[in-house]
Structure 1
C-alpha cells in the first residue's frame, strides 16, 4: 500500500523580503495501515521498517509489513501463517518487535487454551520469518497482556507488561521483569512501575511502548476504554531516569486524544526517521468507526523545552481517507494461490482453498456458517459481488457472499439447491429471512450493498446484467449488530455443506463509496 506524501505549506515571506528557497517538509501524518489493524507496532532493522498489528480471532496471525520510508508498506507474510502454537487458543493481540544480535523476537499476547491471557514470544533469524514459538512467559491470575522488551540503563533486557486487572474490576499495574539471556523466559522478581491512578485513565492503563531520549526513559501508554462505539481511549506518557523508576506521569496527559476526524487514538509504538519522531498507533475514523475498525496511523511529535513529547493539537493530524477507490478489490483469482490479504476465523483450520485457471475452489464445511475466507473493509459504505459456478454446485451445498463480524454474526446471500436465500446470523442463531427459486443457470452473480455499515441490501443475477433484489420488497436489513467489540466487519466468501464438496468462484469485488 502506497501513500502520496503531502507537502507542507511553503514559508510566506514578509512584504519586501526576498523569498528564500527551501525544500518543502513532507508530512508523514497519514493512515499507513488502512483497515482493521489495532495495536500496531513498528521497529527499524537495518534500512527497513517492520510493522505488525493485532489479529484477534482472524488468521493468518500477526501480519508482517515492510517499508523503506514509513509511508509505503508491503504485506510480506505473517508470524503464524498456517498453524497456531498448540498451546494457544484465542485473542492474538499486541505484537511487539525486539531485534538483537541478528535475531528478531516478537512478544505477543494470547489466551492459553482453557486458561488466562498471557505474554508469549516467538523468534526468527529474519524479521520476515519463519518464526519459532517459545511459548508463554507470564500469565497472572487476572491475565497478562501487552508485552514490550526494553533494555535498562545497564543494558539488561526487561519485559514490560500489563496485569489485566480491569477484567476482574481491579487496578492494572504495569510490571517489569528481567529476561533471560535467550530472551525466552523471565528471571528474578517483577517490579511494579505504575498503575491507573489518574482520572482520565479510567479502568486501565495498557499498551506500553518505551523509548530512551536525552537520558530519560519515556513510556507511551493508553488509558480508558479501547473499543467499540462508546470508546474513550487516549494516549498518555510517563518518564523515569531509570527503567524501574520512579515514574512520573506527564501533568498534560492525555497527550493524544480524539478530534472530529479520529476517535480513540492509542496503543502505539515510537519510531524515528531523519531526526523526526513518530508514533504508529491506532484510531477509529469518525466516518466509519467500528464498522471498519481501528486503523494504523502515523502521528508526528516533537520534544518540548521540558523534555516531554508533544503532538500538534494533541490529536492525530492524519487526513481522513478520501480516495477510497484505491482500496477497491477486484480479485480474479489469477496465479496459483490466494493473496496474503485473505483471512479466516482461527476457530477453524485454515480453509482448503485452491486457485486454478482463474477460479477459486473453496472446500465446504458444515460448521456454523461453513468455510469462511474474508477481506478487511476500508469504508462503511460499499458494494461487493461475486460470481459463483452455480451449475457445478453440489446438492445440499450452499455458497455465497456475506458481511461477517465473526462466525456467530453475519448477513449473507447464499445459493444452493436451486435457490437463493438471505441468511441472518446473530449470536450464533441463524434464520433464513427470504428465499427465491431460480431457473437452472451456469453462473450466478451475488451482490451485497451497505450504507454506513448499517443498512444492507442484496440482489442476484443469472446473466450479470438483470438484477433481482432479495427480499423482493424494497427494504434494507439492519446490520448494526455485526461488528464485535474489538474488530471491524469483513466481506467474505462462504461455502457450507457436508462431506468433501466444493464451491467455485470466478471473482470477488469490493467497490467503496462515500
Structure 2
C-alpha cells in the first residue's frame, strides 16, 4: 500500500478484508480500504469523513478494527481538547464502510494512552490492550489490559500491566500491540524503539502467553522483523490470515525514498516454527522494491461532480469548500498562511507534478498554485496571481517570497514542480503548455529536505490564498513518477 500509510490495521469480515491507517493531521480521518485478495485495495470512505469527533483535536493515530455480533468497532488514538492528553477512543458502525458513530475516549492517562487493540480473553470477555505513552516524559511504556463493558463504550474493573520495555533492542518504548490466538497461545506482535524520521530504528517483536492477562514471555529471538536493504524500520502491524497463510500488515520506510514518502503499508508473510513462534524469512520484509512507479501516476481531470476520496486537507482548518463542474475544480481561497490546501499523498521521492489554472479569471489579490507540503507550516510553492508567478518558501511557519516574475496576459497558466529524491525541487511555468520558463532563473533547484514532519510524508497540493469569498479554478492535476 504505497505512500504514507502508517500503523495499518486489517480485519476480515465475511469474504472481504478491511484496512485503515494513521491519518495524523490530514483529513479525512482514517481511510477505509477494502479488498478480496489482500493485494488489490479500493478506497471506499473514511471513519470521520468531514467532521472531527467533538472531544478530539489532533494526532489521529493507530486505528484498529474489531468485529463482533454484526457490528464493526474502531479503536483509535487522538489528542483530547480538554487536558491535552492522548487518549484511546472508540467508534462503531453497522457496516465496516460506515457511517461511524463516535463514543468518545475510553482511557487517557497523564502520560498519554495510545495504540488501543481489542481482544477477548480465554473466557470470552473483551479487553482493551493499550500502551501508556511514558516515553513522552522519559518513563517506561507499560502495555495495559482492562475489560470493556458490554456496550464497548467504557472500561470496567482494574487495569493489569502485561509488560513494559525492558530489553535493550526495545529502546525507550514498546507500542503498537496486535494480538492473535493460535495453538493455545496468545501472541502479541509489538513494535520497539524509534518509529519515525531519518534516524528511526523501529523493529517488531513478539511475546506470548497462555492467558491474556499473562504472564507474558518475550521471544528470545526478538526482534523477529527488522530492516534490510530495501525496507527500513518495519513495525506496528496487525495479523491476518488467508488460505492458511499468515501475514502481518505493517509499515516500513522504503530505503530509496525514506521519510519523503512516509511509512508505507507492507504485507510480510510468516510461518509458525517448531517452537510455536512466528518466523519471518531472513527476519525482514520480503516485499520487493517497486520497480515501476508509473503505475501510481495521478491524473485528475476533475470529471464528475465532486473531488475523489483520495484528496486530503489539514485538519487544523475546516474541510475546504470545493466545486467540481465542467471539468474544472473551483477551490475557495483562505486568508491564513498558505491559504486553502487540498493535497494528494506522494508514492515516490522523484516525480513531476503539474496543474493548469484559469489565469484570466483569477481574482485580484488571490494567488493559486502548486506546492510540496509537509504541513501548513512547511512548504515550497509556485504561486500565480496579480499578473505574476512567485516561489513561496515556508519553513517553521515563516513565509518568504524567493523569486517572482511577471507573466504576459494569458487565458491559462500551467505550473510545474519537479522533485529529485525528495530533496531537490525545481519550478517552472508555461503560458502555452509547451514552452517552459524556470523560476528562479539564477538557481534551478531548491533544497526541500526540511519539508517532511517527523511522522509523515510530503504531499503535493493545490493552494488558493486570498480573501475567503474568492475562488481559484484549476483544470487538472497531474503527478508523474520516475520510471
Q: Which residue of 2 aligns with 1:48?
A: 16
TM-score, normalised to structure 2's length?
Answer: 0.99
Distance (Å, rounded) in 1 between the aligned partners of 2:199 and 2:261: 15
Q: CA deviation at 1:143?
A: 0.1
> For residues 51 and 351 of structure 2, what CA distance do their matches in structure 1 show?
32
- The equivalent residue for 1:227 is 196
Q: Alpha-carbon deviation of 1:490? A: 0.2
- Superposed, 1:84-95 pairs within 5 Å as 84-95=52-63
Choose which of 421, 443, 446 in structure 2 pairs with 1:452: 421
Query: 2:28·2:48 contact (CA, 8 Å) conserved in 1?
Result: yes
**Residue in 2 aligned with 1:344?**
313
Distance 2:417 2:340 in 1: 19
Q: Does 1:394 align with 2:359?
A: no
Mapping 1:230-249, distance limit 5 Å: 230-249=199-218
- Measured against aligned partners, the alpha-carbon deviations of 1:167-218 in whole angstroms (never above 9, x if no partner) come to 0000000000000000111000000000000000000000000000000000
CA distance in structure 2 between the partners assigned to 1:485 and 1:55 by the alignment? 14
Q: What residue in structure 2 maps to residue 273 of structure 1?
A: 242
Following TM superposition, the consecutive aligned residue runs of length 4 or more in structure 1 with deviations greater than 2 angstroms are none
Q: SS where residue 420 of structure 1 aligns?
A: strand
How far 1:87 sits from its partner (Å)? 1.1
Q: 2:347 aligns with which of 356, 373, 378?
A: 378
Superposed CA deviations along residues 242-265 of structure 1, whole A, max 9, x for unmatched, are 000000000000000000000000
Verify: 1:413 aligned to 2:379, yes or no: no
In the alignment, the residues of structure 2 paired with residue 392 and residue 365 of structure 1 have an alpha-carbon distance, to the nearest angstrom, of: 17
Cα distance in 2 for residues equivalent to 1:439 and 1:53: 46
Which of 72, 75, 79 matches 1:107? 75
Distance 2:178 2:55 in 1: 27
Q: How big is each residue's C-alpha offset from its partner over 1:434-480, in whole Å with a ceiling of 9 and x where there is no partner?
A: 00011111100000001000000000001111110000124310000
Alpha-carbon contact 2:438-2:444 (below 8 Å) kept: no
Alignment partner of 1:362 is 2:338: no
- SS of 1:167's equivalent in the other structure is helix
| Cα displacement string for residues 356-408 of structure 1 (whole angstroms, at most 9, x for unaligned residues) | 00000000011111000000001100000000100000000000000000000
Provide the residue aligned with 1:293 in structure 2: 262
- Contact kept, 8 Å, 2:332 with 2:468, in 1: the verdict is no
User: Which of 164, 170, 173 is matched with 2:142 structurally?
Assistant: 173
Tell me, in whole angstroms, the C-alpha distance in 1 between the residues paired with 2:153 and 2:287: 37
Q: Verify the 8 A CA contact 2:8 2:20 in the aligned structure 1.
A: yes
Query: How far apart in 2 are the matches of 1:246 and 1:349?
Result: 47
Residue pairs, 1:465-480, within 5 angstroms: 465-480=434-449
Secondary structure of the 2:475 match is strand
Aligned mates of 2:156, 2:257 — CA distance in 1:
45
1:152-178, Cα deviation, whole Å (9 max, x unpaired): 000000000000000000000000000
1:60 is aligned to 2:3: no
**2:408 corresponds to 1:439:** yes
Q: Distance in 2 between matches of 1:87 and 1:503?
A: 33
Conserved in 1, the CA contact under 8 Å of 2:9 and 2:19?
yes
Please tell me whether residue 326 in structure 1 is matched to residue 327 in structure 2.
no
1:306 paired with 2:275, answer: yes
**Could you say which residue in structure 2 is the equivalent of 1:427?**
396
1:505 paired to 2:468: no
| Paired residues, number | 482
2:51 corresponds to 1:83: yes
Q: Does 1:484 align with 2:453?
A: yes
Q: Is the 8 A contact 2:331 2:472 kept in 1?
A: yes
Alignment partner of 2:295: what SS? helix
Give me the whole-angstrom Cα distance separating, in 1, the residues matched to 2:144 and 2:187.
15
Which residue pairs with 1:27 in the alignment?
A: none
Match among 132, 136, 144 for residue 163 of structure 1:
132
Unaligned ranges ≥5, structure 1: 1-32
RMSD of Structure 2 on Structure 1 (CA): 0.6
Corresponding residue number in structure 2 for 1:29:
none
1:355 Cα deviation (Å)? 0.4
CA contact (8 A) 2:179 2:187 kept: yes
What SS is found at the alignment partner of 1:190? strand
SS of 1:378 mapped into structure 2: coil
Q: Measure, in 2, the Cα distance between the counterparts of 1:113 and 1:394.
A: 37
Cα distance between partner residues in 2 of 1:509 and 1:358: 14
Q: Secondary structure at the match of 2:476?
A: strand
